[in-house]
Structure 1
């Protein structure tokens, strides 16, 4: 047991501000963002842009200034859009990094504050406990069983005991105990900062989806180049000039490949992650946005996720009587009254309340301007015990002053108990208090006598009713006696039954997961009866309960869909559960809040940490942080993941079908007497309008109302799988067919058929974009980004018909009202067909 020094009051707020200004933030300097010129140069290195630049050189040498102007306009606009999208994505990700930044508890002006770790300054008094990540280099001034894992810095796999005057290095993890320490070095001066400076400048890796789409783009580019070469060769065979066909082939290649795809995906992921943050789900790793849509199993902690996380000590049992406590939350208002059974003695009740106050590290924080209600400081279960004592009129501060703590053995998941030693008034005796799981205390540490058997029965009945039961026992020892066997021969003081009320939306959350085809597993360290009772309240069907003892005995943690409740699970056993379900081919999301949950959170496909009550280790190990600790937020996050993936596929259908249509028109048009269906400038203009804002807008479409009624997508599914490539082919074929028919009729009527080709091809693609929009939710009629983007693109597409310089630049001709109306009617056909087929599919 460690002895503490006097507790310093910490810096004042003014001293902290001055120190922050002097030393700078406690953060590792990030690589400077690229300069504007570098951003532009990166956009110009895109293969499609390089092709256009090559075409511009060729057209300039031929003095084809019309095509040259259009090519340069397209290059400038594409580059500008790319830079803007990159900046928006970086801003969204920077906002996410700020939301997910580690926190630290410091003592300032005598108050305990939770602040961003970046605001820790030299001289701060930092409070650390098991599960925290050390925010700066610290000098220990107070230590109780303090232990740190320094493997991240030293490679030493065994945690290191820390005593007073030892140092804690930034970035290490507190694995046991608690303590206070003075910040001595921060930011780049800390041990972590010196190492991180060697790693600065690393750029984020692309997500798996981005890598798959990049590979797809390469394949599409090769196909587009091959088809464009065929178009160029066929033109040369017909006697068309070589330079003209080269420019046409380059323009067609650029149009056929959706070069905005990487930007659209990056922006969709970043914006989606930012939308999740607004819904209390902070994404720490961008690939998690993509993976969320494929989750098939959610392994959820009971406490604080399916339940409210507000612990209420409601029932008390002593050797001679039982009591019921009344009150709301952690507010000390309330009372304790005997049940209908025999009333216990006041001395027994006082003894039980004394013990739960002294063997306790928590406290209560009263309401203030920011938080209207009473809040726990420390473990919520221990705070519930303090609340219980206050409701009986017991002063925790007075008791702690009268019985000063001299040593302690903190609670951990292996021991399942906490023990403290206190000097009794008079100083000649030591009071030993132990609280923990009834099956541990009653079977191993309490002196057996008649009341113990009744306590076992009562604890079993309370657990069956859904309570978490704590047994409390104590004994006295001579002050000069040996304390090595302090936990032996304890005498039972009583039982306390604690409940965590089920969240009001828990049953709805369970139903939402079931509807979405996602298995929900309830995992708790509580007894099997408690787990079963909670499962019944929230409507979670399960044929059996698997316990930690079952897993230790070799039981398969994933026997099938019938076993969905796991009780008396140690944190390290979560890893076995995750691995077992993954071995069955599932994509697993795991929730956790403790330091021992870190490995399971890392192992899971999506690690979900509690942002309000979780440890810093859990938050840093996770991919997703729930700032409201509510499992309903995971439902919203899965819906967002499905929305993003669906929108990427929708964009692919739109962009690839449009590119295919342009290639088909250019390839088959000459066979029907349309020598050169489109000029290079017209191809590029159509491509710029259709792949610009409408493409980005498709990535920002709202979620499909039916998305959460379908099962998750298979992880092995290709991005063009599930019938998408077939829809691309027939949509592109439909657009090409309608365009060629309209052009042939225009030529037969003596109209300028090339202008008709331009009009119908562009309007058809924009009509398909409008048809692919998500259906409106009932009662909403507000215009969306896609509506405005398509409308703007239509106006820009028709603008050359009324602006003569632009018309001459694109090589178009004036059309009559009848010819224009006919082109519009043909242009509507593909979008109308797509819309009707989608409507029929949704109704079927």
Structure 2
């Protein structure tokens, strides 16, 4: 099929299915996942694993097959856990990529249809407007003020004008106007696909948190190696064999450093992002997960986030009177009734409805079996105008056929108006229609004809009542005359509302409890902004307008912003960031993209937003609901808290093991623990229980606490002190247990092994996130993981081959009970401190 043969109806559903089968999906082929052997080799390159392999070679040379067997078991299990975690993380991120896939509007079976960009096929008729990302290489055959940013391909920052002789290329962005094109090349055959193929082998970069933790791991490794060397030297001084001390030092180094930390962090971030997606927040950039926990300011649009995003044209005004619309959403069912005491003249109403149906680029999507609701295709405000026309018995399709558009000046956020030019049936003159913001349209230059003073007063009243107001005007122009947008005749005003979401006030209150400020930013009039702010609980006496910002007013002086141009959002975000805040900002338009990129967290609307906004954002809300941002921030806080909890757990255990090996000889224990025993304990405590801590649910109080400081170090806010006393306490009870058993003539080394391992597992349970008050405690992944590790910790005492392998001995019932009693002490101390801290917090809260 060639361009000349293309039907304006586009492909049929059957033709598109055949083309998709022939050409494949419109996607860039993903790089092949690494083979199983490559994954294993990557895990074996870990410095800690290399140390273990070196220790295995050494023990094999010394014919120490007991320690060799334990070391090999630890290497195999650690490698297996690492590979499994890597695969799970990749699967979670792949699922997110599918959820975040862009969409395109095509003409199928004669109707505008929204589909995933991956389903675009050659010869599809693609409809584009400002803010769309071009889904494939296209031949343009209809263009109105069409302009595209091709910097992604050419590096040229100046947008390029496009006409019907030009092509558009996949991955570029429509910055102005609208157009229609025929898909020529898709997938890897497109211009973007050929470039992407060169980059497909690159692996994703580590997140900032992962880089900070990797740096921390290097520091810990140096410290652990140094302390282990001290242990080895002390053993040599006491006359112990060099090979034994080398293996002991290596084992202790491995135990002291949480080598599973990178894998735990990667999995926690990926699974956290997947959980966000299940709560309608799709993470496009993994660092956003960790940044969410530090957000202090949320800057949000009114339309579609605080409100339902279902625009409703409720009433219209002409100089003759008022009409009121009935109906819900975009469903054309309903009618338009004159106001009883001030009815509008039917002819003037029909003229106004004709104008808004013609000066309009939107469409209405019919209900389907999968989605039995009328939907807007295009701008929601324009879709509301089409719905209003239907309710007033004006068929937009009939009028568009009778009044073909010959020219247009599209709407943009700077002009705040749109103008279209139309032929008229049976007449030579041209109908010119303009619509836009009242302050732009109702001026002596633009609309000098009509009762403008009265219209301004009505517009102000509607705006103060919370309505968005559009002014509509028209004129007749001679066919050969210049295309001008002024000297119009007033047709009327239309009042549009977007009902508040049922949870808007609750979300704002939740942000307040969490120490997060909310900025309400809208392009509507100050009266509308204040009306919405009062209803949702954003109490701010003054409204900062776009004109105020132009005059140099500090954007941090208020929380309610009105008549804001999209480019001014960048000024607002920058000002609050300069004041030390971490800013999340919502946006949906092409001009929001710079501010979305500048914000610490850019949040785009998945339903009503433009594709370019979604591509610029870190987070996409599939339900356009600000409450989803609250859920995402809670998830971000949960993940960061769990990573810190894992650090406390793992580093406390490592510190305890080092202290036992350092202090034990001073108490008369030449070798407090054998290398095999150290490695066995490390394998059980740092393995599955560590991963389970990363999956713990959020603390019920997490959204009642202030956000963490973005300057806070990973071990900051007192964490290293908690690690120090927890590790010290574990070491003390271990040494006390060993001393008591030694004093009574029992197997003190077995006692030290048992108490050291059980105490660490008890700490894991003590760090378990509390449940909601009044709810029954249910088993979690952490409970199961700790139970399994506890069983494997005790099992060698009762299984002879394992007991011999680890160098353990049987314990009496009394010794076993003493071990259990001492092992729970660190856990009880953690619970007691947390309970006391909770009481102090409650007392401070009550005092306030």
1:714 corresponds to: 709
Tell me the CA shift for residue 444 of structure 1.
Answer: 4.6
2:809 corresponds to: 813
2:786 corresponds to: 790
Deviation per residue, 1:249-272 (Å, 9 max, x gap): 110000000000000000000000
Deviation per residue, 1:229-280 (Å, 9 max, x gap): 1111111111111111111111000000000000000000000000000000
* Aligned 1:653-732 pairs, distance under 5 A: 653-732=648-727
Partners of 1:342 and 1:41 in 2: CA distance: 81
Partners of 2:712 and 2:541 in 1: CA distance: 32
* Structure 1 position 827 matched with structure 2 position 832: no
Partners of 2:660 and 2:389 in 1: CA distance: 82
1:415 corresponds to: 415
| Aligned residue among 540, 543, 558 for 2:541 | 543
Give secondary structure in 1 for the equivalent of 2:221: helix
1:840 corresponds to: 836
Partners of 1:293 and 1:444 in 2: CA distance: 51
Tell me the CA shift for residue 750 of structure 1.
Answer: 0.8
2:529 corresponds to: 531
2:146 corresponds to: 146
Q: Which has the larger displacement, 722-731 or 385-394?
A: 385-394
Q: Does the CA-based 8 Å contact 1:137-1:183 persist in structure 2? A: yes
* Structure 1 position 802 matched with structure 2 position 802: no
Cα gap change, 1:20 to 1:7, in 2 (>3 Å)? closer
* Structure 1 position 609 matched with structure 2 position 609: no
1:755 corresponds to: 750
Partners of 2:777 and 2:725 in 1: CA distance: 31
1:781 corresponds to: 777
* Aligned 1:19-38 pairs, distance under 5 A: 19-38=19-38
Partners of 2:645 and 2:575 in 1: CA distance: 34
Q: Does the CA-based 8 Å contact 2:731-2:756 persist in structure 1? A: yes
Q: Does the CA-based 8 Å contact 1:283-1:289 persist in structure 2? A: yes
Give secondary structure in 2 for the equivalent of 1:148: strand
Q: Does the CA-based 8 Å contact 2:120-2:135 persist in structure 1? A: yes
Partners of 1:222 and 1:634 in 2: CA distance: 40
* Aligned 1:514-529 pairs, distance under 5 A: 514-529=512-527
Partners of 2:197 and 2:402 in 1: CA distance: 51
Q: Does the CA-based 8 Å contact 2:449-2:489 persist in structure 1? A: no
Cα gap change, 1:348 to 1:5, in 2 (>3 Å)? farther
Partners of 2:372 and 2:17 in 1: CA distance: 27
Tell me the CA shift for residue 18 of structure 1.
Answer: 2.6
Partners of 2:451 and 2:407 in 1: CA distance: 29
Q: Does the CA-based 8 Å contact 1:299-1:588 persist in structure 2? A: yes
| Aligned residue among 560, 570, 594 for 1:599 | 594
Cα gap change, 1:222 to 1:6, in 2 (>3 Å)? closer
Q: Does the CA-based 8 Å contact 1:446-1:492 persist in structure 2? A: no
Q: Does the CA-based 8 Å contact 2:411-2:417 persist in structure 1? A: yes
* Aligned 1:332-731 pairs, distance under 5 A: 332-448=332-448, 451-478=451-478, 480-485=479-484, 487-559=485-557, 563-731=558-726
Partners of 2:620 and 2:389 in 1: CA distance: 34
Q: Which has the larger displacement, 279-288 or 349-358?
A: 349-358
Q: Which has the larger displacement, 313-322 or 447-456?
A: 447-456
Tell me the CA shift for residue 417 of structure 1.
Answer: 0.8
Deviation per residue, 1:28-64 (Å, 9 max, x gap): 2232211111111111111111111111111111111
Tell me the CA shift for residue 340 of structure 1.
Answer: 4.5
Cα gap change, 1:842 to 1:558, in 2 (>3 Å)? same
Partners of 2:49 and 2:821 in 1: CA distance: 34
Q: Does the CA-based 8 Å contact 1:5-1:142 persist in structure 2? A: no
* Structure 1 position 194 matched with structure 2 position 197: no
Partners of 1:6 and 1:537 in 2: CA distance: 52
1:309 corresponds to: 309
Q: Does the CA-based 8 Å contact 1:130-1:595 persist in structure 2? A: yes
2:843 corresponds to: none
Partners of 1:7 and 1:579 in 2: CA distance: 48
Deviation per residue, 1:468-489 (Å, 9 max, x gap): 11111111122x331322x221
Q: Which has the larger displacement, 444-453 or 66-75?
A: 444-453
2:845 corresponds to: none
Partners of 2:217 and 2:337 in 1: CA distance: 72
2:844 corresponds to: none
Tell me the CA shift for residue 447 of structure 1.
Answer: 4.3
Alignment RMSD: 1.4
Tell me the CA shift for residue 446 of structure 1.
Answer: 4.2
Tell me the CA shift for residue 543 of structure 1.
Answer: 2.2
Partners of 1:797 and 1:164 in 2: CA distance: 74
Q: Which has the larger displacement, 101-110 or 516-525?
A: 101-110
Cα gap change, 1:447 to 1:266, in 2 (>3 Å)? closer
Tell me the CA shift for residue 761 of structure 1.
Answer: 0.4
Cα gap change, 1:7 to 1:179, in 2 (>3 Å)? farther
Deviation per residue, 1:274-332 (Å, 9 max, x gap): 00000000000000000000011111010000001111111211112122222211122
Q: Which has the larger displacement, 466-475 or 351-360?
A: 351-360
Partners of 2:281 and 2:29 in 1: CA distance: 26
Partners of 2:403 and 2:619 in 1: CA distance: 43
Partners of 2:169 and 2:260 in 1: CA distance: 45
Q: Does the CA-based 8 Å contact 1:273-1:283 persist in structure 2? A: yes
Partners of 2:230 and 2:30 in 1: CA distance: 49
1:130 corresponds to: 130
Partners of 2:522 and 2:573 in 1: CA distance: 14
Q: Does the CA-based 8 Å contact 1:305-1:630 persist in structure 2? A: yes
Deviation per residue, 1:170-221 (Å, 9 max, x gap): 1111111112111111122111112222222111110000000001001101
Give secondary structure in 1 for the equivalent of 2:808: coil
- Alignment: residue pair count: 836
Cα gap change, 1:781 to 1:62, in 2 (>3 Å)? same
Give secondary structure in 2 for the equivalent of 1:666: helix
What stretches of structure 1 of length at least 5 have no aligned partner? none
Q: Does the CA-based 8 Å contact 1:5-1:141 persist in structure 2? A: no
Cα gap change, 1:353 to 1:450, in 2 (>3 Å)? closer
Q: Does the CA-based 8 Å contact 2:295-2:582 persist in structure 1? A: yes
Q: Does the CA-based 8 Å contact 1:612-1:627 persist in structure 2? A: yes
Give secondary structure in 2 for the equivalent of 1:419: strand
Tell me the CA shift for residue 7 of structure 1.
Answer: 5.3
Deviation per residue, 1:147-171 (Å, 9 max, x gap): 1111221222222221113110111
Cα gap change, 1:111 to 1:320, in 2 (>3 Å)? closer
Q: TM-score, normalised by structure 2?
A: 0.97
Q: Which has the larger displacement, 417-426 or 756-765?
A: 417-426
Give secondary structure in 2 for the equivalent of 1:428: strand
Deviation per residue, 1:335-355 (Å, 9 max, x gap): 222335432322211111111
Partners of 1:842 and 1:343 in 2: CA distance: 64
Deviation per residue, 1:606-661 (Å, 9 max, x gap): 00000011111000000000000000000000000000000000000000000000
2:846 corresponds to: none
Partners of 1:24 and 1:346 in 2: CA distance: 54
Partners of 1:155 and 1:214 in 2: CA distance: 34
Q: Does the CA-based 8 Å contact 1:221-1:257 persist in structure 2? A: yes
